[in-house]
Amino acid sequence: MVFEDDGKIKGHIAYSPMKDENGNIIGLALGPVGVLPAYQGEKIGSQLITEANKKAYDKGYDTIFVLCDPKYYTRFGFKLAKSMNWATKLDPAGEHFMVITKKPAPVNKQNVEYCSAFERGMQRVPGKAE
Protein backbone atom coordinates (compact mmCIF):
# COMPACT_ATOMS: atom_id res chain seq x y z
CA MET A 1 0.00 0.00 0.00
CA VAL A 2 1.27 3.49 -0.74
CA PHE A 3 0.47 6.91 0.67
CA GLU A 4 -0.10 9.25 -2.24
CA ASP A 5 -0.66 12.96 -1.93
CA ASP A 6 -0.91 15.45 -4.76
CA GLY A 7 0.33 12.87 -7.26
CA LYS A 8 3.40 12.06 -5.18
CA ILE A 9 4.07 8.82 -3.38
CA LYS A 10 5.31 9.81 0.08
CA GLY A 11 5.28 6.49 1.89
CA HIS A 12 4.68 2.78 1.53
CA ILE A 13 4.00 -0.30 3.59
CA ALA A 14 4.33 -3.98 2.74
CA TYR A 15 3.38 -7.29 4.32
CA SER A 16 4.55 -10.83 3.80
CA PRO A 17 3.23 -14.17 5.01
CA MET A 18 4.36 -15.50 8.37
CA LYS A 19 4.49 -19.26 8.79
CA ASP A 20 4.61 -21.65 11.71
CA GLU A 21 7.22 -24.40 11.95
CA ASN A 22 5.04 -26.66 9.79
CA GLY A 23 4.84 -24.13 6.98
CA ASN A 24 1.26 -23.06 7.68
CA ILE A 25 0.51 -19.38 7.22
CA ILE A 26 -0.53 -18.06 10.62
CA GLY A 27 -0.52 -14.35 9.95
CA LEU A 28 1.30 -11.50 8.30
CA ALA A 29 4.60 -9.80 8.88
CA LEU A 30 4.41 -6.03 8.64
CA GLY A 31 7.37 -4.40 6.95
CA PRO A 32 9.05 -2.62 5.56
CA VAL A 33 7.26 0.66 6.12
CA GLY A 34 8.91 3.86 5.04
CA VAL A 35 8.17 7.52 4.58
CA LEU A 36 10.32 9.84 2.49
CA PRO A 37 12.54 11.83 4.89
CA ALA A 38 11.01 15.16 3.85
CA TYR A 39 7.59 13.98 5.02
CA GLN A 40 8.46 12.09 8.19
CA GLY A 41 6.72 13.17 11.37
CA GLU A 42 3.48 14.06 9.55
CA LYS A 43 1.64 10.92 10.70
CA ILE A 44 1.94 9.30 7.27
CA GLY A 45 3.55 6.22 8.80
CA SER A 46 0.81 6.08 11.44
CA GLN A 47 -1.91 6.27 8.80
CA LEU A 48 -0.26 3.59 6.66
CA ILE A 49 0.11 1.21 9.61
CA THR A 50 -3.42 1.79 10.91
CA GLU A 51 -5.14 1.56 7.53
CA ALA A 52 -3.12 -1.37 6.23
CA ASN A 53 -3.57 -3.35 9.45
CA LYS A 54 -7.31 -2.77 9.16
CA LYS A 55 -7.27 -4.05 5.58
CA ALA A 56 -5.36 -7.12 6.72
CA TYR A 57 -7.98 -7.81 9.40
CA ASP A 58 -10.75 -7.30 6.85
CA LYS A 59 -9.08 -9.91 4.64
CA GLY A 60 -9.13 -12.36 7.53
CA TYR A 61 -5.59 -12.06 8.87
CA ASP A 62 -6.06 -11.80 12.61
CA THR A 63 -2.40 -11.90 13.61
CA ILE A 64 0.23 -9.39 12.49
CA PHE A 65 3.87 -9.48 13.51
CA VAL A 66 6.46 -6.74 13.29
CA LEU A 67 10.16 -6.60 14.06
CA CYS A 68 11.10 -3.06 14.94
CA ASP A 69 11.19 -0.46 17.70
CA PRO A 70 8.59 -1.07 20.43
CA LYS A 71 8.59 2.65 21.23
CA TYR A 72 6.88 3.28 17.91
CA TYR A 73 4.73 0.18 17.41
CA THR A 74 3.20 -0.14 20.86
CA ARG A 75 1.14 2.96 20.03
CA PHE A 76 -0.69 0.84 17.43
CA GLY A 77 -1.48 -1.94 19.90
CA PHE A 78 1.51 -4.18 19.20
CA LYS A 79 3.08 -5.90 22.19
CA LEU A 80 6.17 -8.01 22.60
CA ALA A 81 5.51 -11.36 20.96
CA LYS A 82 7.48 -13.22 23.60
CA SER A 83 4.79 -12.22 26.11
CA MET A 84 2.44 -14.33 23.95
CA ASN A 85 4.83 -17.24 23.46
CA TRP A 86 5.83 -16.37 19.89
CA ALA A 87 9.47 -16.22 18.86
CA THR A 88 11.62 -15.63 15.78
CA LYS A 89 15.24 -16.54 15.23
CA LEU A 90 15.73 -13.03 13.80
CA ASP A 91 15.36 -11.61 17.31
CA PRO A 92 16.56 -14.25 19.78
CA ALA A 93 16.18 -11.91 22.77
CA GLY A 94 12.65 -11.01 21.71
CA GLU A 95 13.12 -7.33 22.45
CA HIS A 96 11.90 -6.06 19.09
CA PHE A 97 9.59 -8.78 17.84
CA MET A 98 5.98 -7.74 18.37
CA VAL A 99 2.52 -8.98 17.58
CA ILE A 100 -1.03 -7.76 17.44
CA THR A 101 -3.61 -10.49 17.43
CA LYS A 102 -7.19 -11.44 18.21
CA LYS A 103 -6.13 -15.00 19.04
CA PRO A 104 -5.25 -16.33 22.49
CA ALA A 105 -1.56 -16.92 23.12
CA PRO A 106 -0.27 -20.40 22.28
CA VAL A 107 0.18 -22.55 25.37
CA ASN A 108 3.75 -23.45 24.45
CA LYS A 109 6.46 -21.37 22.81
CA GLN A 110 5.93 -21.24 19.05
CA ASN A 111 8.62 -20.30 16.55
CA VAL A 112 7.47 -18.44 13.49
CA GLU A 113 9.25 -18.06 10.16
CA TYR A 114 9.57 -14.98 8.01
CA CYS A 115 9.62 -15.52 4.24
CA SER A 116 13.09 -15.97 2.78
CA ALA A 117 13.15 -12.56 1.06
CA PHE A 118 12.45 -10.81 4.36
CA GLU A 119 15.11 -12.85 6.14
CA ARG A 120 17.68 -12.02 3.48
CA GLY A 121 16.81 -8.34 3.83
CA MET A 122 17.42 -8.53 7.56
CA GLN A 123 20.86 -10.10 7.21
CA ARG A 124 23.70 -7.74 7.96
CA VAL A 125 26.74 -7.61 5.70
CA PRO A 126 29.67 -9.20 7.54
CA GLY A 127 32.38 -6.72 8.40
CA LYS A 128 30.22 -3.64 7.81
CA ALA A 129 29.32 -1.26 10.61
CA GLU A 130 25.66 -1.22 11.56
Ligand X SMILES: CC(C)(COP(=O)(O)OP(=O)(O)OC[C@H]1O[C@@H](n2cnc3c(N)ncnc32)[C@H](O)[C@@H]1OP(=O)(O)O)[C@@H](O)C(=O)NCCC(=O)NCCS
Binding site for ligand X (CB under 6 A): 31-35, 40-46, 68-69, 71-72
Residue closer to ligand X (CB basis): 37 or 104: 37
Residue closer to ligand X (CB basis): 43 or 89: 43
Q: How far is the CB of 16 from ligand X (least distance, A)?
A: 13
Q: How far is the CB of 33 from ligand X (least distance, A)?
A: 5
Residue closer to ligand X (CB basis): 57 or 72: 72
CA distances (Å), origin 56, targets 7, 13, 48, 122: 25, 12, 12, 23
Q: Cα(95)–Cα(53) distance, rounded to whole angstroms? A: 22
Q: In this chain, which residue has its C-beta nearest to ligand X?
A: 45
**CA 78, chain centre distance (Å):** 9
